A and B are shown apart, each in its own frame.
Chain A
């Protein structure tokens, strides 16, 4: 009889890429649930649109590259990219925004560079930056969290707004953002930025309706949700602690020092850690292995760099949040970091 020939090793620890990506999706659940609680069911529409677009784009690209259409989908990476992009944009953004962003992420950032494992940049963040630069108005129209909002939309109203940019009653997203006093409300980070330029101190700014407890209303809970999911990923050994910890250290340490010197001008580490996309970025975005550094030492440097750039842009830059820019900038440094953090091979020390 004939026997099967196979290269060693003849066993595997049975944790494969598809399964890892599935775990990433599970770990996103607490954060996404909280996000849909505070920003309405639009989050789910955005995710559905993004995933559908990503799956079709992935299939089209693999067919165009003369590979089996379903084999690329099996690894679930396109789905993760789509979800990350969908939860990075606000829940009432017009449908074509997420479709364009996802197409760019999958087709250009991923497949044009050679597909799975070959992309230089984090696809979701590159897609986000494209959208932010091309459609600044649609991208920055974040509503206030539902707990402090004057309006709450039904499922049908949400869908109508995403499809036609107006609620069935004819309100634009811009109008929906207005508070009880008719003044437009922004995200907590945005509020800090604009109010500081108008000469208010942080103590005064924190009195506003956008803030409660430790940081921004709604946003703090969403960040804690992503933190819980991220810790689950570490516990499951899907990601290692190096990147999340490096990211948070790179952001919070400078924030802490700055806060000590200028407590009324520079927000403290807790505000930074629980605002914007901090936790999502630290545990789910910067940890994308493809575009991160490869050695553990390199990853710490990579993550510190991201955290620090986020701090710098939030404090002095033109954008209220900066995770996407920081990640892309650090992606560019990866080959350099990898080169200088190569571990010493056995027998080459001393």
Chain B
């Protein structure tokens, strides 16, 4: 503890702001934070969901049975937000099929399955040890082609985040890792500080930003030392040691902590001249540019008392969770929970056949003793403990009432969508109400309603267009009939006014002629009647359409 304090004195270069609320759950970063990152034997198969990040997925470039090299591209970078996927190791494409993926729903998704051959045979690498004479747009392309997505949270494609046009006040590197148990970023900073700082400088070069704030929570003294040593006398990078409090690593909270400013609701940090990247992302950018290696693996914390060997591992993307558990001495108890992510925001996995993806920072297998399952939900007593800890200064108890009452208008007025789902409210709720669960449901419902509304609006427009078209066609038809009738009238008049009419001449021919005329009139009448019937039917059906 005294160690932490000396570190604080040395590096605490003035935290400007603070954010309201927050909680101090037991940190439990040991032993993961003090054990070197291990490498595991290759798993029997790697499962690579084609869609691993926000945005549409790209076209698959390989076929079943094909041999692939390590780092070989497997999918085309899709449209706008798409990221390509690469083979994490050399091997054979065993299947391209639906597999359960790392999502709270456990729904299957399209995935490429590779059987590694153990050769670790690299394909071509385009290393760029000196990037300073390369154009920024080319560097952005390289980051995009390396398949790098934000490794800290939502997995947003990094190149797109970097490609923004506004000038930056600060580039913030987030090494806070405030969630309990997780020590992946902590270990990465301890072991790869120089690479992270090198990656930070590349990010600085791309964003043309000469002020970097590098934030680490004060419960990581070793990481702080390592990063401070790597920064050395670089005056453009300031190390900021932030006090330990959950969720200080949240993008909005960290910004408020470091700059004293809030990101206006509905805006992005770049709108106030800030950009945040996770330390893992900085590391991945360094590997991509300097070594020409795409994003193939990441550090994953394996922890929880149901595991004998807790610690961090380098996990290839696509490694089945079961493989990680097998390598860590997994002793499941009854009703075991397997959590992807930390205890505050992670989600339970329905199956361990799901793979590691780019945003998988932790696999937590807790015993019921260390993280007791919640008791039965009691009624809200409006004690307000939740609002005291809400980092967004929302009123969770009001939101909860409104969510239960399905009052979606009021929910939006109470700023439901500013909730970052950090879970602090539910953590302290004495009635053990799963508050975040209610907000997620309500958010999904509000989005559904908006979608339905948009759909209904479209349907209405389509219907109106159809009505207009039918009306127009009817008018045109009537116009045609009117003209035809006029034509006929005119012809008859012309006939009647002809002076040398032969109808009185008494021979057979005129009689024959008039019979033919009568027949023609009868035919025309029948046709007209049929047309009228059809018109009526048309009108009926459109009237029905109107009702429905």
Contact = CB atoms under 8 A, between A and B. Distances in A.
A278 B281 CA distance: 59
Interface in B388-416: 388, 391-395, 397-398, 414-415
Contacts of A117: 379-382, 431
A10 B395 contact: no
A3 B337 contact: yes
B379 A8 contact: no
Given A17-B431, A294-B398, A346-B265, A8 B346 contact: yes
A170 interface: no
Interface in B411-436: 414-415, 418, 423, 426-432, 434, 436
A343 B394 CA distance: 7
Contact of B350 (A3, A8, A12): A3
A9 B344 contact: yes
A350 B349 CA distance: 41
Given A8-B436, A16-B431, A3 B373 contact: no
B448 interface: no
A209 interface: no
Contacts of B337: 3-4, 6, 10
Contact of A294 (B384, B392, B423): B384
A6 B345 contact: no
Contacts of A290: 381-382
Contacts of B180: 11
- Majority-rule SS of A interface residues: loop
- Majority-rule SS of B interface residues: loop
Contacts of B256: 346
A348 B381 contact: no
A7 B364 CA distance: 14
Nearest to B392: A346
B77 to A, nearest CB: 32
Contacts of B23: 13
A17 B25 CA distance: 19
B344 A8 contact: yes
Contacts of A16: 375, 378, 430-432
Nearest to A291: B382
Nearest to A118: B379
A295 interface: yes
A78 B341 CA distance: 40
B351 interface: yes
B527 interface: no
B372 interface: yes
Given A116-B379, A294-B397, A347-B252, A10 B366 contact: yes
A198 interface: no
A13 B350 contact: no
A3 B365 CA distance: 10
B35 to A, nearest CB: 23
Nearest to B334: A4
A349 interface: yes
B50 to A, nearest CB: 25
A289 B383 CA distance: 5
Contact of A1 (B25, B332, B383, B388): B332
A3 B348 contact: yes
Contacts of B252: 346-347
Nearest to A75: B378
A36 interface: no
Interface string A333-350: 000001000111111111
B372 A347 contact: no
B387 interface: yes
Nearest to A19: B430
B263 interface: yes
B102 to A, nearest CB: 13
Contact of A116 (B378, B383, B393): B378
B107 interface: no
Interface residues of A, number: 45
A290 B423 CA distance: 22
Interface string A1-35: 11111111111111111011000000000000000
Contacts of B262: 346-347, 349-350
B545 interface: no
A71 B418 contact: no
Choose among A4, A116, A299 the residue with the greatest number of B CB atoms under 10 Å from its CB: A4
A54 interface: no
Nearest to B28: A11
A292 B335 CA distance: 40
Given A10-B371, A13-B23, A116-B379, A347 B423 contact: no
Interface residues of B, number: 68
B417 to A, nearest CB: 10
Given A118-B379, A344-B393, A346-B392, A6 B348 contact: yes
Nearest to B345: A8
B418 A348 contact: yes
Interface string B433-447: 010110010000000
A346 B418 contact: yes
B343 interface: yes
Contacts of A20: 383, 430
A115 B380 CA distance: 11
A96 to B, nearest CB: 30
B384 to A, nearest CB: 5
B346 A295 contact: no
A102 interface: no
A9 B437 CA distance: 9
B12 interface: no
B14 interface: no
A13 B264 contact: no
A296 interface: yes
Contact of A3 (B265, B352, B440): B352
B407 to A, nearest CB: 15
B374 interface: yes
B336 interface: yes
A343 B21 CA distance: 12
Interface in A268-318: 289-290, 292, 294-296, 299
A77 interface: yes
Contact of A11 (B267, B347, B371): B371
Contacts of A292: 382
Contact of B384 (A15, A289, A346): A289
A346 B381 contact: no
Contacts of A12: 372, 374, 426-427, 429, 432
Contact of A15 (B378, B379, B430): B430
Contacts of B432: 12, 16
B295 interface: no
B362 to A, nearest CB: 12
A296 B265 contact: no
Nearest to B389: A13
Given A4-B335, A10-B339, A347-B265, A77 B392 contact: no
A20 B429 CA distance: 11
Given A1-B336, A7-B436, A346-B393, 13 more contacts: A3-B338, A5-B350, A6-B348, A8-B345, A10-B337, A294-B387, A295-B384, A296-B384, A296-B388, A347-B418, A348-B264, A348-B415, A348-B418
20 contacts: A4-B335, A8-B426, A11-B25, A13-B428, A14-B372, A16-B430, A16-B432, A17-B430, A20-B383, A74-B378, A75-B378, A77-B381, A289-B381, A294-B387, A342-B414, A346-B391, A346-B393, A347-B392, A347-B418, A350-B262
